[in-house]
Structure 1
């Protein structure tokens, strides 16, 4: 599928440089210094011979030695010789190309030819040593040439298991690689290529259509569902087709015939289809959570962090635009923070990684940056690109008064942005932060525990401390033990202090609780005394009332007795009632009734 494959041998000028440098005195001296540094590591690590080490250990020893001699005079002299040799041989090779009329291209300048040679050499070195792919971090915020882009994506999106599985199924049972909705996939692919304005260079190309269908049909078959693919799934396959078929600017591969199925001898072969499936599947699995469907785990948290970064950065870089967007995007909803309201217009862009919003060459630049950062977990350029789109479309966005207008501006105007604008914005606002995340060392184990861990890659990024002599090693170990002892004592003191503070807090709490208990007891005693006093008063009143009732009863009884004997005065028509009493009220009423009856009876008898 690749129009130019990776060179199987190094360019002639690179081979000439290597041959010249290998014979130079500077290389001989540098090599002796490296061997000395490695020998020292072997002695310090109690290893007899370099050959006794594993491949990983040899590489570690060598990189540590390189870091040790990097700042030395021998390395500086060798670098000067290296630069001179490269300059001489590259210029000589380019001069021959310019003088060679048979292969002369009128549009090719000397700078273009030098870049082509550097590209060719880089591809040859990466093909020979794929583990050097991290050196491509140096290409951050740069446009990768087509051949180097193909190799870069191949290295960072490698998953041999996926490719092998697909090719095996394609060989044994081609129908198993096709979706149950294969016809629907074909129709949607064709409609998308012909309707999307940014895909006009891809429309009506049978190779692209069939490659796109093959990848998506297999992707859907692996899902084992009858639910149609999402629009995002269709969009995300396009850059792989552009990369694989090397579409540059307005040059696209011509239609070489109609494919009847996988494996035909056109631009699309079984091997190239396997590579497409491998890279597409790897990217889909490695996407940040906020690019996936909302039902995926960690989607909400990933989207929240992404939108917080977009809104926060936008408020810092252009607070006026951020305030306007917050006002406009909240008209049709509740008064939400910008991080929530901006999601409705930002998510469609980042979900498809700006496909359909930016031009194809700009999309490829963004994808280059994303791909070379796949091995750096904290690196994410997508929020930065989204912020730059808002900033560069500020004039149009300030005239918007609704969510639909903002979405329409992003869809219609973002495609006019040039990749050079985004490169300038990244370099101005985000380069330092993103580049530091991209080349951040992860660290690696070392055999000698007294030395600091050295990074596995990018050994030239940091200075190595001076080489410690073997006789000074004991002093270093003693100092380290003393430092560890001081740290242990400090930790113990902090722990003891925390215990004391905790005991003091508990004691103060107990005092507060005891005081509260004492206050409660006093209040209870005072209330109890008050109630007892009220009770005694009630008892006294009841006793006095009872005594009055008894006296009244006795007096009535005597009067009744006098009436019976006829000695008392003639009773009047009525007897003055006794004052009521709460104790003897019922009893007095009964006595009064009896007395009245007796009086009435005595009067009748007398008459």
Structure 2
């Protein structure tokens, strides 16, 4: 019990106690029990304890769904909301009175709520789907770190990396390790959107180790593509608070970055991978079509600009709606493919980029979500750079 109290903030434990002592909780348990009993009767099962663990979970889930939205259920939800608000505010008021912190009350409320959310997610990682309420807003650093970790969890990848280091560490290093080192150093020191990472020994070594291992397991004589170096950078930035600027990062931190980075690479839609295969080309064409249609609706003037940029290089132009649309999609193909391959890395400042990646992570398990999300981001970005497009001499960037 003492261990549990150390896991959760005190205000959250008090909140739990108040809720379980309430008549609303008793009413909910009775209704849940009745719903489970009804299922047992229908299934000709005498006792709940006769069920296997997966069956118990299924019965509980069905029973909860059956009473969800009812008077008792809604009454409990309202009680939970009131008690949570009360417990959190009482704890913050105590901090202000006893500890005289420098932070404002609003800051303390946010920090305490964040601490509570993190403790619950660590205990029940399957609740990560509740993070959809964070869509359309940037995540605080610690919630961002945990969110990326939960959605990109792949213990098999991490175990393979750790086992490789323990049994044959040389095999975890690419034959092109020096080349990867050079590219990492050049990229971190020259790209202005990576300024906060510039000069960090820890970031350099962590990025190099991640990419070197990734290449080593590809079993190829081809060097890594530039875009693969770019895609490693957001992971380094998110992990930067756990990495010293003066020395290489600890192995456990690199293992986590390897796990997240490689799982992310595997999660990418085909139009992001864009390897040139027939399957990926079909996805690229479908994505460009989605962007073109959305751009015509939201920013028709930008659509016309992109089309006009292509007119001079065409020998014959068919002055029809179909012909104009073909020019638009061809222009977009040239304009946005590099942007999408890198998922906007180097095209946006880091804080904006991480906001976009936060949404990507939260939607990664939802089929089709990131097709829509990345199309919306692309169209929004094209709308914002309208003036720059006016000055451009060609559609290439």
TM-score (normalizing by structure 2): 0.92
Q: 1:229 aligns with which of 221, 224, 227?
A: 224
Q: Indicate whether 1:343 and 2:341 are aligned.
A: no
* Closer, same or farther: CA 27–210 of 1 in aligned 2, 3 Å: same
Q: 2:349 aligns with which of 335, 349, 359?
A: 359
Higher mean alpha-carbon deviation, 351-360 vs 42-51, is at: 42-51
* Closer, same or farther: CA 100–298 of 1 in aligned 2, 3 Å: farther
* Closer, same or farther: CA 391–357 of 1 in aligned 2, 3 Å: same
The answer on whether the counterparts of 1:329 and 1:342 sit within 8 Å (CA) in structure 2 is: no
SS state at 2:196 partner: coil
The answer on whether the counterparts of 2:274 and 2:281 sit within 8 Å (CA) in structure 1 is: no
Q: 2:91 aligns with which of 93, 99, 104?
A: 93
Q: 1:382 aligns with which of 374, 381, 392?
A: 374
Provide Cα deviations, 1:242-269, integer angstroms capped at 9, x if missing partner: 111249xxxxx663x333xxxxxxxx21
Tell me how far apart the structure 1 counterparts of residues 22 and 285 of structure 2 sit (CA, whole Å).
58
Q: Indicate whether 1:275 and 2:264 are aligned.
A: no
* Closer, same or farther: CA 76–294 of 1 in aligned 2, 3 Å: closer
The answer on whether the counterparts of 1:289 and 1:296 sit within 8 Å (CA) in structure 2 is: no
Deviation >6 Å, runs of 4+: none
Tell me how far apart the structure 2 counterparts of residues 352 and 230 of structure 1 sit (CA, whole Å).
11
Partner of 2:323: none
Instruction: Provide structure 1 residue ranges, at least 5 long, that are not aligned to the other structure.
Output: 1-6, 248-252, 260-267, 408-607
Partner of 1:35: 33
Partner of 2:162: 167
Tell me how far apart the structure 1 counterparts of residues 224 and 327 of structure 2 sit (CA, whole Å).
33
Q: 1:199 aligns with which of 194, 197, 200?
A: 194
Tell me how far apart the structure 2 counterparts of residues 210 and 135 of structure 1 sit (CA, whole Å).
35
Ranked by relative contact order (alpha carbons within 8 Å, sequence separation 6 or more), the top structure is: 2
Partner of 2:385: 393
Tell me how far apart the structure 2 counterparts of residues 371 and 330 of structure 1 sit (CA, whole Å).
39
Q: Map residues 299-378 of structure 1 onto 2, 5 A cutoff.
A: 299-333=280-314, 335=317, 336-378=326-368
Q: Indicate whether 1:142 and 2:137 are aligned.
A: yes
Question: Could you tell me how far 1:42 is from its partner in structure 2?
Answer: 1.2
Instruction: Provide structure 2 residue ranges, at least 5 long, that are not aligned to the other structure.
Output: 318-325
The answer on whether the counterparts of 1:42 and 1:48 sit within 8 Å (CA) in structure 2 is: yes
What CA RMSD, in Å, does the superposition of the two structures yield over aligned residues?
A: 1.8
Higher mean alpha-carbon deviation, 367-376 vs 92-101, is at: 92-101
Greater helix fraction, Structure 1 or Structure 2: 2
Q: Map residues 410-449 of structure 1 onto 2, 5 A cutoff.
A: none
Structure showing greater Rg: 1
TM-score (normalizing by structure 1): 0.61
The answer on whether the counterparts of 2:274 and 2:284 sit within 8 Å (CA) in structure 1 is: no
SS state at 1:298 partner: helix
